[in-house]
Every structure is written in C-alpha cells, then in structure tokens.
Structure 1
Amino acid sequence: MRSPSVLRDTQFLRLWTATTASGIATWALPFVLGLAVLSRSLTAVELGVLLAARTAGFLAAVPISGVLADRYLRRQVVLWSGLISAAAAPVLAAFVGNALAPAVIAALAMGVGQGACRPAFSALTAEVVEPGRRQEANAAMVMSIRVTTLAAPGLTALLALFVNTQGLLLGIGALWLVAALVSPAGSGSVAGSSGAGFVAEFLEGVREARRHPWFLAGLGALSAVIATGYSATSVVLPLVSRDRYGTEAVLAGALTAFTVGALAGAVLMARWRPRAAGWTGLVGLSLYGLAPLCLLLPVHPFVLIAVYAIAGLGFDLFNVPWFTATQREVEPSKLARVSSLDFLLSYGLAPVGLALIAPAISAYGAGAVLIACSVICFAAPALAALVPSSRDFGTPESSTTTSAP
C-alpha cells in the first residue's frame, strides 16, 4: 500500500514554500537587473559587475553554510540566510544605478544568502521527509523550479509595466523574508561542532563524500556536463538562432522546450522507481550531449527544439534520484557538507566554463568546441556508470529498504 502523498504533509509544504520562494528570488534578480539595463538605469558593465558579485557571494557561502548547517539547527541557517538576502534587497534597491560600490556589496550579500541556504535546504529535506517519500519530495522541489522558470519571465515583465526596478527588488526581498520565516523546524537533531575547526570539519565532509564512489563519479559527470555542454550551448544557441534561423524565436523555443522537458522528467520521477536508478539518471544526463550536436548540424528548428526538450527531460531524470540518493546514503550529520560540495563543484564550475568557451570558440572554431563538448557529455556519464555502486546510486540494499511501500 502506497503511503500518503508528501504534499499532504504540512512540514513539507512549509519547506516547499520556502524553497520555492528562495528559488523565485534567486532567478528573478538577474532578470530584474536586466530590465534595469533596458530602461537605461543600469549599464551593461554595471550589470556584469553586480552579477559577478552575487556569484562570488554564492560560491563563498556554500562551503561555509555546509559546515554551519551540520553544526547547528538547519532551520536557523535557513533563517539567517534568508534574512541576509532580505536585508540586502532594499540596500540594492536604494543604490542600483546610483552608487556602484554599495550596490555591489548588497549583491554580494544576496549571493551569500542564496548560497548559504542551499545545503541547509537539502539537509532539511532529509529531516522533514521520511525515506520512502523523499523521491516524491525531491521531484516536487524540482517541479517548483521548472514551473517558476516557465512562468516567472512573463509575470516579471508584466509587473515591470506597473512597478519600477526598485519596487521589484523590494519584492525579491519579500520573497527572501518568506523563505526565512516559513521554513519548518525539522527534527532538530544535529551532531554539533567536533571542535576540530572550520577547515577540518569541511574536510570531514569531503572524506564522507569519498566514502561513496557513486557520488564522486556522478558529481564528476554532472560537473563535466554543466561546465562544457551547458556552457557551450549557452554561448552558441543565441548565435545559431540569430545567424542560422534569423529569429530569436528559436532561442526562446529551445529554452522553453528544455524547461518543459525537465518538468516532464520531474513529474515522471515523482512516481517512477526504475530498478537501476543511478544508470537511468546517468543515461538521462548524457542526453544533453545531443544539444551541442544539434547546434552543429543544419537541422530544422523544430528538431532543435525537440532535442532541447529531450535534454531537459534527461536532466531531471538525473536530478531527482541524485538528490534522493544523497539524502539516503550520506551520514545525516555530514549531509549539509556533502551537499555543499555538490553545489560548489557542479554549479561553481559553470562560470568557469562560460568564461572559457568564448575564447575556445575564437581559437578553434564553434564546430570543434561543440564536438568536443558533445563527446564529453556522452563520455563523462558513461565513465561514471562503470563505477559499480553507480547502478543504484548506492548499495542495492539501502535503495530497496527505503523505497516507498
């Protein structure tokens, strides 16, 4: 008999609301700042500086938050993370387009809040949701991100007709306040500090990650796909849409198709329990290799859009079992640190990839770069699948005993 849906659990609904609010706020900031460029209240250079500051804050906060969320109550880490971002929003609203230095400090603070809450949310999910319902819970989390990505651009653009940049930034601050205050308490069971110092405690998390070969292999594959394939297509897709097809509609269609495909993948994984969840996820991840290949070939635009939908589907075939397995297999007292390592490497390498792709295209040509990135997208998950424990993202015994009844 299947257990009741996790969506009926008040604690999980509070967690889902908090993560959704933080996700909308995280996504909205670059879009709102981009609108400020269009209205000429912000220059393109200033936009780049502000986004770089936010990224720097994010990357700096992730490992620190991982240690803090394993030392203290995860709820407290989420609370202070959200309050930091919420407090930074009015400062950014006051100085954006007027004084760059305080605006940069505010953007940095918002990045810190954004990065600090990620590992805590992941660990809090394991506290709030029982093992048998975590895959459904993680699917619901991923679905909220995809729906936000679909709906938020239009809603933000609509709001921009009636609210100026400062008002939108204050709205982002309100969302961070919701994330800070709505998040549930969790079980409250934490190991506390070992007294070994911050760096030593973070290295304990690294050692915990090394105990799980499937985690290292999967993280390596994910990081490779994001840093190469995702970065390359982010640079080349707008150029192909403009130069080959002569319209930005192909760019918009491909990005929308990716999100719709990812949403479909999350919906599928909410109920589907594949026998080899790890291999299924790695095959899904490798599907992104089709995207750079499709950009290389003179295909019909509908083929390109369909390929992006398939790539999106594959991404969440990987994401949902990946998060679920991490929460299942990693020692609870080190879960936030291992999650911080996940975010730090997978998403932290994305800016590096974006920075290197354009020079690589200039030096070797778009064709060579796209072929190389496609090969990496196929090869990295295949190599990860060779690790024995990657079949189920962990031991088969633990996967079986914690599956939904």
Structure 2
Amino acid sequence: MPIPSATSTAAQSPADKQRTILLDLAFLRLWTGATASGLATWALPFVLGLAVFDRTLAATDLGLLLAARTVGFLAAVPVAGVLADRYSRRGVVLWAGLAAGTSAPVIATGLDRSVLLMAAAAAVAGAGQGACRPAYQALTAEVVDEGRRQQANAAMTLAVRVTTLVGPSLAALLAVFLDTRALLIGIGLLWLAAAFVPGPGKRPPAAQDAPGASAGPARTSLLTEFAEGVREARRHPWFVAGLGALTAVIATGYSATGVALPLVSRDEYGTEVVLAGAMTAYTAGALGGALVIARWRPRSPGRAALAGLAAYGFAPLSLVFPVHPVVVMAAYAVAGVGIELFNVPWFTAAQREVAPDKLARVSSLDFLLSYGLAPVGLAVIAPAIDAFGATPVLAGCAIVCFAAPAAAALVPSTRTFSHRPTCDDTP
C-alpha cells in the first residue's frame, strides 16, 4: 500500500482543500524551479535555431547537437530514477540543474570554434534535463499532500504550456538586443534557478523502511535497482496498460505533428499559417485542459483520462482530408485539451499508487518509454510517407491514437487508475 504523505488529507479543512496550491510556499518554490527548468529545456533548441539563422551554426551541426542532447536525456533518465530513490530527490534536482547550467556557457564557448565541444556539452545538458524529470515528479509527492496533488500537477503542466506559448515571442524579443552567446548564458542562469530555488522534500519516514526499499547500508547495482522499479510498475496493471497507450499515441500522433503537419501546411495549404495556428491552438487547448482538470474529479478518472488521450487522434485525422484550416486548428485544440485531461490524472495516480520509495524509478520508466521512443516515430514517419503516401500513414496514426487508449481501457483497473477496489466494484 502507498504510504500517505505527512499531512493527512483527512486532517485538512475544506478551506485548506480549496486554497490554491500556489499559496503553499514549499510547492511554490518547487513550481518555480520546475518552470525555470521547463523554460530552459524549451529554449535551448530554439536559441540554437537562431544560431543557424545567424549563420553561426550549420544546420547539420544543429542536428548533431540535438541528437547529442537526446542521447544524454535518455541515458540519464533511468539512472536519475534510481539515484532519486536511493538518495535525495532534492539532491538529484540540484546536481542535474548544476550540470545543465554549466553546460550552457560551454556550448556558447564552442560556437564557431568546436562542434565536438558543443556536442559534448549538449549531451550533458540533455542529461541534466532527463535527470530532473523523475526527480521533480517524485518531489511533488513529497511536498504536496495527497488531497491537493491533482491541483499541483495541473499547476506544473500549466507552467510548461505557458512557457511554450510565450517563450518564442520572448526569445525573439531578447534576440533583438542579445546575441546567441548571451542567450545561452541566460539558459544557464535558468538552470541555476532550477537547481537552487526548490526547497527540501518531506519524504515519508516509513518509505525508507518499506520492504524492498533502496535505503540501507547494502547497495545493489543501478541496473538491479532499476529492475525493482520495473517490477513495481508491473504490479499495477493500469499503469502498464496506460503506459502502452501513451507510448503508442506519442510515437504516432506526436510524429504526425512533428513531420506531417509542416509538410501538409506547405503542400496542401501553401502557407505556414496552418502550422503556426495548429501549434498555437494545441498549446491553448492544453492550457484549457489543465485548468479544467485542476478542479474536475470525474467518477471514473482513468477512463476519462484515456478518452482524453484518444482525442489526440483528431490531430492526424484532420490532416487526412482537405478541410478548412480552421478545422485543423480546432482538431489540434481538442488534442491539446485531451492530452492534459490524461497527463494530470496519470501523474497524480502514480504518486498515489506507486510505493513511495520506488516512485522516481517508475516515473523514469514512464518518461523513458513514452518520450524516449518518440524519436523512433519521428525517424520512421517521413520515409513511410515517401513510400506509402501521406494519407494512409496519417490515417494509420489516427487509428493507433484512437485504438491504443480504447484497448487500455479494457483493463479493469484503468477505470480508476488504481488496483484498489471501489464501492462500485463490490457486489
């Protein structure tokens, strides 16, 4: 059984439950650090893109740097999950932020000098980004009591969406006054804020005494401890089913957005307005979805979340037929709403159901499979479109997006994202 956080939900007054989570100083510090890390994560490829525009970086070199960052991210996620469960989640955030923060000025130093130096620094930056993800996820469970975690997770995802929405305009404005090197130094400062601003977590003491907990004088290998996290994940059928659906949707729907949408915008509509409008509509929809799910408590949260995940299928589906651009933008807005209707209950359920001493490892498995396999979809979809045409590939992506969550919903425990029976499950 998961161990409740130090502040019992039952002990909260109704006023405490309604009070906005951002008035909690401990969470506000955590939220600020996570926001800084999210902005820095988004900003790096954008600023490097500006360097290509300024001809201080070649397009092929940009691809190399982004690939190095992805490799660093994927390598760090499972290791960070183990370390965050073995030691301190706060400590992992600190060192990850410091690593990513120091890599930014190294990338700046390598501009026009050494692509290999920049690639090595980009890999370190990716490692810092990857290490932060499971640590922040587990740290949220330490800082926030169970009754307000859904609100907290919604606030976290709101921060991500806002930075995505306003970030391009802000970076473009700063680029008028600052060169690429100065912008990279600014990214390093954001990572330092992510490292130092969050306060210490409040891990439940009993988590360290739970059977199979990592704490203790005898240490096993990182691989063995990560395997313990995999076994913990397999103990929750709803998690395995949901992760499979999420991975399938991201590998197909996200790939359609990343590769097919620009092609369709150019070839079918003859303007980049459709691309920009669809991406803006997606972000705006995600903001709306996060605001809704911060307060909404559906009767069957797992089924509602999977329905939201399936809504991503409307994005590739809108590219199959010759429709008005407004229809494409509306489809992407629906996809944005749906993805947050899934994300927030998904994170909240993991924080509630997974053993506290294995939460970071299970979270790292989540990020490793769902987002780690996304580059595979991106690499495959363009050759598939060349070989079979855009229409059948996009139709296939849409079918997968609809079918994978529907298949996951057949697992009984996905109804509530919990292995514990509800009143409706008892005869």
TM range (shorter): over 0.9
Aligned equivalents of 1:251 and 1:399: distance in 2?
Answer: 47
Give 1:286's aligned residue.
310
Q: 1:110 aligns with which of 110, 122, 125?
A: 125
Q: Structure 1 residue 85 and structure 2 residue 100: aligned?
A: yes
Aligned equivalents of 1:311 and 1:198: distance in 2?
Answer: 37
Alignment of 1:2-401 (within 5 A): 2=15, 3=17, 4-188=19-203, 189=205, 190=208, 191-192=214-215, 195-395=219-419
Aligned equivalents of 2:280 and 2:129: distance in 1?
Answer: 24
In the TM superposition, residue 371 of structure 1 has moved relative to its aligned partner by: 1.0
Q: Which runs of 5+ in 1 are unaligned?
A: 401-405
8 Å contact kept, 1:392–1:399: no
Aligned equivalents of 1:26 and 1:308: distance in 2?
Answer: 23
In the TM superposition, residue 128 of structure 1 has moved relative to its aligned partner by: 0.1
The superposition leaves residues 187-213 of structure 1 with CA deviations (integer Å, 9 ceiling, x where unpaired) of 145552552211110000000000000
| SS, match of residue 220 in structure 2 | coil
Residue 44 of structure 2 aligns with an amino acid whose one-letter code is L
Residue 192 of structure 1 aligns with an amino acid whose one-letter code is A
In the TM superposition, residue 244 of structure 1 has moved relative to its aligned partner by: 1.4
In the TM superposition, residue 397 of structure 1 has moved relative to its aligned partner by: 5.4
Aligned equivalents of 1:91 and 1:30: distance in 2?
Answer: 15
| SS, match of residue 191 in structure 2 | helix
8 Å contact kept, 1:261–1:310: yes
| SS, match of residue 141 in structure 2 | helix
Q: Which runs of 5+ in 2 are unaligned?
A: 1-13, 209-213
Aligned equivalents of 1:48 and 1:209: distance in 2?
Answer: 34
| SS, match of residue 110 in structure 1 | helix
Aligned equivalents of 2:107 and 2:421: distance in 1?
Answer: 50
The superposition leaves residues 35-80 of structure 1 with CA deviations (integer Å, 9 ceiling, x where unpaired) of 0000000000000000000000000000000000000011101000
In the TM superposition, residue 231 of structure 1 has moved relative to its aligned partner by: 0.4
364-373 or 9-18: which moved more?
A: 364-373
8 Å contact kept, 1:329–1:398: no
| SS, match of residue 357 in structure 2 | helix
In the TM superposition, residue 396 of structure 1 has moved relative to its aligned partner by: 5.4
In the TM superposition, residue 233 of structure 1 has moved relative to its aligned partner by: 2.6
**Residue 116 to residue 399, structure 1, CA distance change in 2 (3 Å):** farther
Residue 17 of structure 1 aligns with an amino acid whose one-letter code is T
8 Å contact kept, 1:32–1:169: yes
**Residue 102 to residue 213, structure 1, CA distance change in 2 (3 Å):** same
Aligned equivalents of 2:377 and 2:258: distance in 1?
Answer: 10
The superposition leaves residues 269-314 of structure 1 with CA deviations (integer Å, 9 ceiling, x where unpaired) of 0100011111001001101111111101000011111111001000
The superposition leaves residues 192-241 of structure 1 with CA deviations (integer Å, 9 ceiling, x where unpaired) of 25522111100000000000000000000000000012102321111111
8 Å contact kept, 1:213–1:389: yes
Aligned equivalents of 2:82 and 2:100: distance in 1?
Answer: 19
3-12 or 49-58: which moved more?
A: 3-12
8 Å contact kept, 1:28–1:152: yes
| SS, match of residue 271 in structure 1 | coil
Residue 93 of structure 1 aligns with an amino acid whose one-letter code is A
Q: CA RMSD in A?
A: 1.3
| SS, match of residue 315 in structure 1 | helix
Aligned equivalents of 1:48 and 1:398: distance in 2?
Answer: 50
Aligned equivalents of 1:303 and 1:263: distance in 2?
Answer: 19
Give 2:5's aligned residue.
none
Residue 60 of structure 1 aligns with an amino acid whose one-letter code is A
TM (normalized to structure 2)?
A: 0.92
In the TM superposition, residue 367 of structure 1 has moved relative to its aligned partner by: 1.0
TM (normalized to structure 1)?
A: 0.97
Q: How many residues align?
A: 400
Aligned equivalents of 1:399 and 1:315: distance in 2?
Answer: 28
Aligned equivalents of 1:184 and 1:282: distance in 2?
Answer: 33
8 Å contact kept, 2:238–2:419: no
Give 1:403's aligned residue.
none
8 Å contact kept, 2:302–2:345: yes
Aligned equivalents of 2:145 and 2:384: distance in 1?
Answer: 46
In the TM superposition, residue 372 of structure 1 has moved relative to its aligned partner by: 0.9
Aligned equivalents of 1:399 and 1:290: distance in 2?
Answer: 34
